Chain A
Amino acid sequence: MIVVISTKSDSHATTVLQELDRLGEPATLLDLSEFPLHSRLSIGYSNPEPALFHWNGAGSTIDFSQVKSIWWRRPQPYQHDPALTDTASIQFALNEASEAVSGLWHSLDCFWINDPHRDAAAHRKVYQLQIARQLGIPVPETLVTNDPDRARQFCAIHEKAICKAFSATQTHWRETRLVTDQEIANFDAVRFAPVIFQRYVEAVYDLRITVIGNQIFPAAIHSQQTEYKIDCRMDIGSAKIEPVTIPPPVMTQLRSYMKKLGLVYGAIDMRLQPDGTYVFLEINPAGQFLFIEAETKQPMVRALADALANPPPAS
């Protein structure tokens, strides 16, 4: 049995589930927002029986002791029963739910894409840069600070600098921006929350490098031919995306990087500088790949399904 932890509205989950079905692999979607509202979880230890990990969901029943792989794709927040109305009861219920389920994840002897705890750590942008540097992968000169003076100093040293936020989503769009006079005039506001400042990396093109297990799918995003050259996500609809090869030493570095982070899956953003350097920007441990596959025809859905269907032997 393969479990995909996500939600019905996630096209990546549904596409991979269809592929698993086509391969004849039993697989199910698990939406954590059903818990504890609609789903019943039971974990039991009674000698001499094996441990019981039973999930009775609205749509499916899962015996977690029989699960070989789990895709930690888009875990949803737990939902309480609306019969609980006071804050203390709701907080308590959600916290207890979290304790029980987190314990379950730790207890399972299965293959994860990605292990939830490694995944959580790998989401931290500061940690991403730290590990990249440790492995000798070029990263842009960076300053994360809420000190306006240090920010000014950094942006004075670097002729072109960018600023970006830790979190940016489509609904709260915060594109990476060049630091202009307008930003500098507002630097006093840096003290309210840390900002990521980096030397601006000139680009031949942006790279989206999707790693799935042992397979690496590098794609070039020709951001410099779009309306917004600073952040390739902004005008991604106009950007030409095509498969590209990257030098073997970079491939080797990225494999080491994934291993060090303990990730099976990751979508890595890099920039190819005019001088030929591949500069690491960040990794998205839960990044999307369908928009790349649609353009490049690189078989990533299949690779993900294969990885889930054929987990490596337990070590």
Chain B
Amino acid sequence: MADETPRRICGTQNAHMRLLATDPEYVAARGRIENHALEFARTSPAGRSGITLIPVVVHVVYNTPAQNISDAQINSQIDVLNQDFRKANADLASLPAVFAPLAADARIEFKLADKDPSNNPTTGITRTQTATASFSDDDKVKSAATGGHAAWNRDKFLNVWVCPLSGGLLGYAQFPGGPAATDGVVINCTAFGTNGIAAAPFNLGRTATHEVGHFLNLRHIWGDDGTGCNGSDFVGDTPNQAGPNYGAPAFPHVTCGNGPHGDLFMNYMDYVDDRAMFMFTAGQVTRMQACLDGPRATLGTPKPNPTLKFIDDPGPSLKFRDDVTLKFADDATLKFRDDITFKFSDDATLKFRDDGGGKLKVVDDPIATLAGGDPIGPGDPFGPVVNPGVNIGGGRGAQPFILSTPHHSMAWGRSFPEAFQAQVSQYEQQIAQAEQLLAQCQQAEQAGALTDADRQQANQIYEEYQRIVGEYQRMIHGQ
């Protein structure tokens, strides 16, 4: 009998129980992994900074031609993962305000592999026709001998099998700690991606989000204890919850005394329909990052170049040098002064002037050096470029309210011309300093010498730079 209102079914817990019963190594590994996860959450070590980029291989295992899903359907799934694991999904706006502080960016992105395990170019997609009409959560799809396709090296790739699954099963994952040959996630081809043969209510790609959550050691949010209140997902910031929620519940749904706000049923690790789930919590992110720090430490790489904004977006900024009203480019005498603030002068940011070594050299150099001919030729990428991470020090940090909202009027310039001119001069010097720092950052970036933290600071400087340029232009143009 066909189910008129299909409900989410995930086979991860089944696979987990099967491994616990059959694989002593898995049992031992799970113990180690949970201890590590708890310790990680307790001590908040640095873990991986920035964004981890995980190469994905999609093994399409099809019986009928229709199940041989299109590249477009696969790409749509990668897009969903990249939104959901970066807290960039538009439907997050539906999150009840009381839960808003819980939602977190998992800092994980995905891309189809471009090199296979033998380092040959690949599309990141394998396609295998099978005689098997449909699979279950018994891992047969993970071996050619049983009608499927073997896993790629799980230390380097997230294996995603997309195939027909029977019994309404939408997908299942293997928790970390299991056998290499079966590591990865399996998704029903009708619950994968957002187009092609993806079918409502599981056509928004959330099955893969849910299963990759398991793959990174997340448990079902209700704690997998049936409908009791004793199970735990081992995450501190998810409310205790009785059993799974289905469909698209109305907020709030109170169970286990978790009122007034009730279950966090809009979490990816509940059983609601795709359209009703849209967030991970900070505690879940910590658990996933613990997994990347521990059992899946070899998987993924720091995302290269979250890109310096000002490389992509020269904006009004670097053009500014051509502005004839700015004379500083020819002024060889500009140096940092103790009383000049590029806003971050009060904190550690300009500290590098006191730092030892050659780090001072570039910033004390006359602007003319940078403006007229690049002293750091492309042939010498590591030349005098210093790591701006050292230079920029502690970063600009936050600013108090009054200082971080722009002026509403520049009318005072007429009343206090001397003070006004002093401010204009100060801005000009700050702009010059910022351009120097940003130029260094660009050069260091091209030399591959920037860390994520450096980039973050460089982007902060760029934002501050744009703000000052904005204020400066308002003053000059008398707005």
Beta-carbon contact of B402 and A228 below 8 Å? no
Beta-carbon contact of A226 and B411 below 8 Å? yes
By CB atoms of chain A within 10 A, which of B398, B411, B414 has the most? B411
Beta-carbon contact of A237 and B405 below 8 Å? no
Beta-carbon contact of B398 and A171 below 8 Å? no
Q: In the complex, what distance in Å separates the CA atom of A187 from the CA atom of B404?
A: 10
A303 at the interface (CB under 8 A from B): no
Beta-carbon contact of B419 and A236 below 8 Å? no
Q: In the complex, what distance in Å separates the CA atom of A60 from the CA atom of B406?
A: 47
Q: In the complex, what distance in Å separates the CA atom of A173 from the CA atom of B406?
A: 11
Beta-carbon contact of B412 and A233 below 8 Å? yes
B409 at the interface (CB under 8 A from A): yes
Beta-carbon contact of B408 and A177 below 8 Å? yes
A190 at the interface (CB under 8 A from B): yes
Shortest beta-carbon distance, A147 to chain B, in Å? 12
B423 at the interface (CB under 8 A from A): yes
Looking across the interface, which residue of chain B has its beta carbon closest to that of A238? B414
Q: In the complex, what distance in Å separates the CA atom of A190 from the CA atom of B403?
A: 10
A192 at the interface (CB under 8 A from B): yes
Answer whether A189 and B408 are a contact pair too, CB < 8 Å, given A171-B419, A238-B415. Answer: no
Answer whether A182 and B405 are a contact pair too, CB < 8 Å, given A170-B419, A171-B423, A192-B399. Answer: yes
A178 at the interface (CB under 8 A from B): yes
Beta-carbon contact of A189 and B398 below 8 Å? yes
A315 at the interface (CB under 8 A from B): no
Residues of A contacting B412 with CB < 8 Å?
170, 173, 175, 228, 233-236
Answer whether A173 and B400 are a contact pair too, CB < 8 Å, given A182-B406, A228-B409, A233-B412. Answer: no
Beta-carbon contact of A177 and B415 below 8 Å? no
Residues of B contacting A189 with CB < 8 Å?
398-401, 404
Shortest beta-carbon distance, B419 to chain A, in Å? 4
Residues of A contacting B411 with CB < 8 Å?
226-228, 234-235, 238
Q: In the complex, what distance in Å separates the CA atom of A162 from the CA atom of B135?
A: 66
Looking across the interface, which residue of chain B has its beta carbon closest to that of A171? B419
Q: In the complex, what distance in Å separates the CA atom of A178 from the CA atom of B406?
A: 12
Beta-carbon contact of A228 and B401 below 8 Å? no
Contact residues of A between 105 and 145, Cβ < 8 Å to B: none
B1 at the interface (CB under 8 A from A): no
Beta-carbon contact of A163 and B401 below 8 Å? yes
Residues of A contacting B419 with CB < 8 Å?
170-171, 173
A195 at the interface (CB under 8 A from B): yes
Looking across the interface, which residue of chain B has its beta carbon closest to that of A176? B408
A252 at the interface (CB under 8 A from B): no
Q: In the complex, what distance in Å separates the CA atom of A226 from the CA atom of B414?
A: 12
Residues of A contacting B402 with CB < 8 Å?
163-165, 174, 193, 195
Beta-carbon contact of B401 and A173 below 8 Å? no
Residues of A contacting B407 with CB < 8 Å?
173, 175, 177
B93 at the interface (CB under 8 A from A): no
Q: In the complex, what distance in Å separates the CA atom of A193 from the CA atom of B400?
A: 6
Shortest beta-carbon distance, B157 to chain A, in Å? 40
Residues of A contacting B398 with CB < 8 Å?
189, 192
Shortest beta-carbon distance, B421 to chain A, in Å? 11
* Cross-chain contact of A236 among B401, B404, B415 (Cβ < 8 A): B415
Proximity bits, A183-197, B CB within 8 Å = 1, else 0: 100110110110100
Residues of B contacting A238 with CB < 8 Å?
411, 414-415
A211 at the interface (CB under 8 A from B): no
Q: In the complex, what distance in Å separates the CA atom of A164 from the CA atom of B409?
A: 14
Shortest beta-carbon distance, B155 to chain A, in Å? 42
* Cross-chain contact of B422 among A171, A178, A236, A237 (Cβ < 8 A): A171
* Cross-chain contact of A178 among B399, B408, B414 (Cβ < 8 A): B408
Looking across the interface, which residue of chain A has its beta carbon closest to that of B402? A165
Q: In the complex, what distance in Å separates the CA atom of A113 from the CA atom of B399?
A: 38
Q: In the complex, what distance in Å separates the CA atom of A170 from the CA atom of B419?
A: 6
Q: In the complex, what distance in Å separates the CA atom of A174 from the CA atom of B471?
A: 13
Shortest beta-carbon distance, B263 to chain A, in Å? 27
Residues of B contacting A175 with CB < 8 Å?
407-409, 412
Q: In the complex, what distance in Å separates the CA atom of A242 from the CA atom of B383?
A: 66
* Cross-chain contact of A227 among B399, B403, B409 (Cβ < 8 A): B409
Looking across the interface, which residue of chain B has its beta carbon closest to that of A189? B401
Residues of B contacting A230 with CB < 8 Å?
408-409
Shortest beta-carbon distance, B464 to chain A, in Å? 14
Shortest beta-carbon distance, A308 to chain B, in Å? 29
Proximity bits, A230-250, B CB within 8 Å = 1, else 0: 100111111000000000000
Proximity bits, B168-193, A CB within 8 Å = 1, else 0: 00000000000000000000000000
Residues of A contacting B403 with CB < 8 Å?
174
Beta-carbon contact of B405 and A177 below 8 Å? yes
Shortest beta-carbon distance, A221 to chain B, in Å? 12
Proximity bits, A301-315, B CB within 8 Å = 1, else 0: 000000000000000
Beta-carbon contact of B408 and A228 below 8 Å? yes
Shortest beta-carbon distance, A41 to chain B, in Å? 30
Q: In the complex, what distance in Å separates the CA atom of A227 from the CA atom of B408?
A: 11
Q: In the complex, what distance in Å separates the CA atom of A173 from the CA atom of B407?
A: 9
Q: In the complex, what distance in Å separates the CA atom of A190 from the CA atom of B401?
A: 5
Shortest beta-carbon distance, B225 to chain A, in Å? 38
Shortest beta-carbon distance, A239 to chain B, in Å? 9
Beta-carbon contact of A186 and B405 below 8 Å? yes
Shortest beta-carbon distance, A276 to chain B, in Å? 28
Contact residues of A between 212 and 238, Cβ < 8 Å to B: 226-228, 230, 233-238
Shortest beta-carbon distance, A236 to chain B, in Å? 5
Residues of A contacting B415 with CB < 8 Å?
233-238
Looking across the interface, which residue of chain A has its beta carbon closest to that of B399? A189
Looking across the interface, which residue of chain B has its beta carbon closest to that of A186? B405
Proximity bits, B64-102, A CB within 8 Å = 1, else 0: 000000000000000000000000000000000000000
Beta-carbon contact of B423 and A173 below 8 Å? yes
Looking across the interface, which residue of chain B has its beta carbon closest to that of A168? B402
Looking across the interface, which residue of chain A has its beta carbon closest to that of B416? A170
Shortest beta-carbon distance, B476 to chain A, in Å? 16
Shortest beta-carbon distance, A224 to chain B, in Å? 13
Residues of B contacting A192 with CB < 8 Å?
398-401
Residues of A contacting B422 with CB < 8 Å?
171
Shortest beta-carbon distance, B478 to chain A, in Å? 10
* Cross-chain contact of B409 among A187, A190, A234, A237 (Cβ < 8 A): A234
Q: In the complex, what distance in Å separates the CA atom of A183 from the CA atom of B408?
A: 11
Beta-carbon contact of A193 and B414 below 8 Å? no
Residues of B contacting A190 with CB < 8 Å?
401
Q: In the complex, what distance in Å separates the CA atom of A173 from the CA atom of B414?
A: 13
Shortest beta-carbon distance, A295 to chain B, in Å? 13
5 intermolecular pairs with C-beta atoms under 8 Å apart? A170-B412, A170-B419, A173-B423, A228-B411, A237-B414
Residues of A within 8 A of B (CB): 163-165, 170-171, 173-175, 177-178, 182-183, 186-187, 189-190, 192-193, 195, 226-228, 230, 233-238
Apart from the given pairs A164-B402, A174-B403, A234-B409, 18 other A-B contacts in the complex at a CB distance below 8 Å: A170-B412, A173-B407, A173-B419, A174-B402, A175-B412, A177-B405, A186-B405, A189-B401, A189-B404, A193-B400, A195-B402, A227-B409, A228-B412, A235-B412, A235-B414, A236-B415, A237-B414, A238-B415
Closest 3 CB pairs of A and B: A237-B415, A235-B411, A170-B419
